[in-house]
Chains A and B, each alone.
Chain A
């Protein structure tokens, strides 16, 4: 940004510009959008995890030393600092550890239909080991921490090998169970 003469900083602590200055074109912008593209190699743990999602199943890795079953899976255990040992099948049911109901999108713009989002610890993994995902088929006054939920999968023809192959998690019991 550059200012014209009457905007030369008077305050040694800096010069605030507001919407009036911007819309009144008192300041000049330059604009730049980088062409940024990445193609992350997934590695063995994430590759297998996504391939399994495509098949409609969730897998984790077991560390024999600390006996944890890790979801999302990784090839090394961060606590023991050893390679993990085996693949373990994880259930697509679990418990809500925490959640939020979002009225903004990823650019902080308001949205009409709120997004239900949270962390689900999955059955078959170690306690408190889970993933972040959406919730659906649930109302704002029903959802609560501790609620039991189950994955709703996309149709097999629509799956791409991505976390979004699960559409969302829905309450295991109709009405959401007891709060």
Chain B
């Protein structure tokens, strides 16, 4: 297995609607990453595209359509897809392109253009439901989260204000992120608790917004990395795991699939005690409670303990175990696959000391990023370390 390093990252702004097409967003993110790495299109051996439902962009086989924007034309180019998990899964796929020896330099581009979908991006989410069992009930995506959140809250007797704390922390963390869609320095727990109820217990400020955006990462094999940087950041562990389609047949209070994915990644990264060895994490936070749920899934605390640690400030940027120092999806925005920008690019920026105003104090050495997808069933985990 070859060691794999990151040599460049790029990210567009995330907004509800962007002027640029999906191809153009991909191009902007790719160009930023190539400029940081100091490479051109000809230096890239293979390209991985990550993008979520075709229905957002309104293009069948959208990977093919996006290929030129992602510097994939004339190259080995493949799109991987597992719903919301894609933002971390696409870089995992980038990792094996290099770790296998197939490519020396691989580019990973994640793109989402949710603003194209009418009347609302959630219309596309109608079709994630089982056509026989669920769709006749005219479900909304938020229902899933609401039911999982309710289950999680009731099993551990968690108060809504302890969940709202995550929204507040992440929206504040996003202040100073050059791409952030909804940073908010002044937001309070009361604001979240008083926001409009969408599907109880989910309120408007519990949810990350739909966005357009793209992000890119460039991976390089360890034997070539010294050409590009003296201080590389390496991928040290990857894991992914899926649970059954039959989500009504399992208890939603704990994401076992995330735990399985984390164990796979930690094993590869030789991490025996994640709570001690990992310096910070970017758990997937499309809804505020998901950060807590995933912190537990990532084995970074005991079951049911995440809300308590959050209340104690442990997960703040200057806490012992910072969570979502990027501002996460709650603060920076949620263009599904393109959230690679917060979940994986951020690990690179933090570990390389390039996170600017968002930089975690104390010289972090190991970070973990995670995403979650499909119908509450997919966990994708990546561990990175400084060289």
Direct contact of A and B (CB under 8 A): yes
- B side interface size, CB within 8 A: 56
Across the interface, which residues of B come within 8 angstroms of A106, CB to CB? 122-123, 126, 138-140
A108-B122, A119-B248, A128-B250 as given contacts; A16 in contact with B15, CB under 8 Å: yes
B151 touches A145 (CB 8 A): yes
Task: Name the CB-closest residue of B to A79.
Answer: B244
A164 touches B131 (CB 8 A): no
A13-B28, A104-B199, A105-B138 as given contacts; A131 in contact with B15, CB under 8 Å: no
Query: Is residue A130 contacting chain B, with contact meaning CB distance below 8 A?
Result: yes
Query: Is residue A24 contacting chain B, with contact meaning CB distance below 8 A?
Result: no
The segment from A83-91, A93-101, A150-158, A169-177 found at the interface with B is A93-101
B252 touches A98 (CB 8 A): yes
Query: Is residue B11 contacting chain A, with contact meaning CB distance below 8 A?
Result: yes
Q: How far is it, in angstroms, between the C-alpha of A128 and the C-alpha of B246 when the chains are bound?
A: 11
A118 touches B147 (CB 8 A): yes
Q: Mark B119-137, 1 if CB is under 8 A from A, else 0.
A: 1101100100001111011
* Residue in A13, A34, A105 with the greatest tally of chain B CB atoms within 10 Å: A13
Across the interface, which residues of B come within 8 angstroms of A22, CB to CB? 17
Q: How far is it, in angstroms, between the C-alpha of A163 and the C-alpha of B136 when the chains are bound?
A: 7
A78-B246, A97-B151, A104-B142 as given contacts; A14 in contact with B198, CB under 8 Å: no
A17 touches B249 (CB 8 A): no
Q: Which of A7, A38, A99, A133 contacts B131 (CB 8 A)?
A: A38
B333 to nearest A CB, angstroms?
A: 11
Q: Which of A14, A42, A71, A145 contacts B132 (CB 8 A)?
A: A42
Q: Which of A68-126 contact B (CB under 8 A)?
A: 70-72, 74, 78, 97-109, 117-119
Q: How far is it, in angstroms, between the C-alpha of A133 and the C-alpha of B136 when the chains are bound?
A: 10
* Residue in B134, B140, B198 with the greatest tally of chain A CB atoms within 10 Å: B140
Q: Which of A131-179 contact B (CB under 8 A)?
A: 131-134, 140, 145, 162-164
Query: Is residue B269 contacting chain A, with contact meaning CB distance below 8 A?
Result: no
Across the interface, which residues of B come within 8 angstroms of A100, CB to CB? 142-143, 146-147, 150, 199-202
A119-B248, A145-B151 as given contacts; A17 in contact with B140, CB under 8 Å: no
Across the interface, which residues of A come within 8 angstroms of B245, CB to CB? 78
Query: Is residue A18 contacting chain B, with contact meaning CB distance below 8 A?
Result: yes
Query: Is residue A40 contacting chain B, with contact meaning CB distance below 8 A?
Result: yes
Query: Is residue B25 contacting chain A, with contact meaning CB distance below 8 A?
Result: yes
A sample of 10 more A-B contacts (CB under 8 A), given A104-B199, A109-B120, A119-B147, is A9-B20, A13-B32, A17-B19, A100-B142, A102-B142, A102-B198, A102-B200, A131-B248, A163-B136, A163-B137
A-B CB contact pairs (8 Å), 29 listed: A1-B19, A9-B20, A13-B178, A15-B20, A18-B16, A40-B131, A46-B132, A71-B249, A74-B246, A78-B246, A97-B248, A97-B252, A100-B146, A100-B147, A100-B201, A101-B200, A102-B200, A103-B200, A106-B126, A107-B122, A107-B140, A117-B137, A118-B147, A128-B251, A129-B248, A132-B137, A145-B150, A163-B136, A164-B136
* B residues at A contact (CB < 8 Å): 11-13, 15-21, 25, 28, 31-32, 58, 60, 119-120, 122-123, 126, 131-134, 136-140, 142-143, 146-148, 150-151, 154, 178-179, 196-202, 213, 244-246, 248-252
